[in-house]
């Protein structure tokens, strides 16, 4: 059992959900034996209706405290969280439709099949699951993950070193990537654009195209409304993503396609030369 501080409140009485006990703004988590990234689903589905997850800051606070209190030390807790999540992600299970881990397992498996070349940059890596998996699957490839959060990059880098992974992680602003033009064969933007305003999203996609030598891959969720608990500020349909790709890639893209599979996807292939 772990105790974390939420935001807002659920009133004065005790509320019990499948994974939490809530008393006011105090959230007691029933930590499962194998804690993994499906914790995100539990927090949003069970605590958001109680007013405890009004925004991304509240979500991250509850998520972090729940993980770190699941083992004797934060280091052991995060190591276990990564091991459990990566073990499930490696399956890429197309039969298991529900849950964040199952969904991202399929998305990451599709990304691995679509990557072109031997150098990959993942922009907005967060926990760094995708770079870690790509470094395993693409033997000999250079895989770099970047994120604006120094804490997220430090955590992913520590886990990568403990796993002896070839994945590297750097702190970087997605709108001003610290890489030269056409430095990486493939650049991926996975569940990033929904966190950005239209102007920011356009800038980030332009930067990805600048850094990519061969291909840019974009994946976003398809939602009826932006989910504030996850920090989403806009929604996409496949047509929206296709229009964005056409607008930013007219001068540099030789192939442009958009489709739906566990969300909306966009593939932009750079012209040679």
Reported as a single tens digit per residue, the pLDDT across 47-56 is 999 999 999 9
- CATH superfamily for 91-270 is Vaccinia Virus protein VP39 (3.40.50.150)
User: What CA–CA distance (Å, rounded) separates 60 from 56?
Assistant: 6
Q: Structure pTM?
A: 0.92
10 Å CB burial of residue 64 (0-12, 13-18, 19+) is middle
pLDDT in tens, 109-129: 999 999 999 999 999 999 999
Cβ within 8 Å of residue 24, ≥6 positions away: 9, 10, 11, 12
User: What CA–CA distance (Å, rounded) separates 153 from 159?
Assistant: 10
Q: What are phi and psi of 180, to 5 degrees?
A: -70, 170
User: What CA–CA distance (Å, rounded) separates 158 from 250?
Assistant: 40
Residue with tokens 């796993």: 163
Is residue 171 a contact partner of residue 147, using CB atoms and an 8 Å limit?
Answer: yes
Q: Give the domain ranges of the chain.
A: 2-81, 91-270
Q: Does residue 102 surpass a pLDDT of 80?
A: yes
The confidence score (pLDDT) of residue 9 equals: 52
Collapsing DSSP to helix, strand or coil, 190 comes out as: strand
User: What CA–CA distance (Å, rounded) separates 248 from 243?
Assistant: 9
Tokens of 71: 């083992």
**Average pLDDT for 246-255:** 89
User: What CA–CA distance (Å, rounded) separates 174 from 235?
Assistant: 19
* pLDDT band, residue 6 (cuts 50/70/90): very low
pLDDT in tens, 230-247: 999 999 999 999 999 999
The confidence score (pLDDT) of residue 13 equals: 72
Tokens of 223: 């939602």
User: What CA–CA distance (Å, rounded) separates 270 from 40?
Assistant: 35
* pLDDT band, residue 27 (cuts 50/70/90): confident
What is the b/e burial string over 161-182, where b = at least 16 CB atoms within 10 angstroms of the residue's CB? eebebbbbbeebebbebebeee
**Where is 184: in which H helix or E strand?**
strand 184-190
Cβ within 8 Å of residue 151, ≥6 positions away: none
């Amino acid at each position: 059992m772990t105790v974390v501080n939420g935001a807002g409140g659920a009133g004065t009485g005790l509320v019990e959900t499948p994974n939490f006990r809530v008393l006011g703004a105090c959230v007691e988590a029933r930590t499962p034996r194998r804690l993994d990234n499906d914790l995100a689903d539990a927090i949003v589905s069970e605590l958001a209706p109680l007013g405890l997850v009004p925004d991304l800051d509240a979500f991250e606070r509850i998520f972090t405290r729940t993980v770190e209190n699941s083992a004797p030390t934060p280091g052991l807790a995060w190591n276990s969280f990564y091991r459990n999540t990566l073990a499930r992600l490696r399956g890429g299970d197309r039969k298991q439709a529900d849950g964040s881990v199952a969904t991202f397992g399929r998305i990451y498996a599709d990304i691995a099949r679509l990557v072109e070349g031997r150098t990959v940059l993942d922009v907005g890596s967060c926990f760094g699951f995708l770079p870690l998996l790509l470094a395993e699957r693409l033997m000999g490839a250079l895989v770099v993950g970047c994120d604006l959060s120094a804490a997220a990059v430090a955590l992913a880098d520590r886990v990568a070193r403990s796993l002896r992974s070839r994945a590297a992680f750097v702190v970087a602003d997605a709108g001003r990537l610290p890489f030269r033009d056409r430095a990486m064969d493939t650049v991926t933007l996975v569940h990033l654009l929904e966190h950005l305003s239209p102007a920011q999203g356009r800038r980030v996609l332009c930067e990805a195209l600048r850094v990519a030598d061969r291909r840019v891959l974009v994946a976003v969720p398809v939602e009826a409304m932006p989910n504030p608990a996850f920090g989403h500020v806009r929604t996409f349909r496949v047509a929206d993503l296709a229009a964005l790709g056409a607008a930013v890639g007219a001068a540099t893209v030789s192939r442009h396609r958009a489709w739906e599979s566990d969300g909306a996807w966009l593939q932009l292939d750079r012209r040679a030369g």
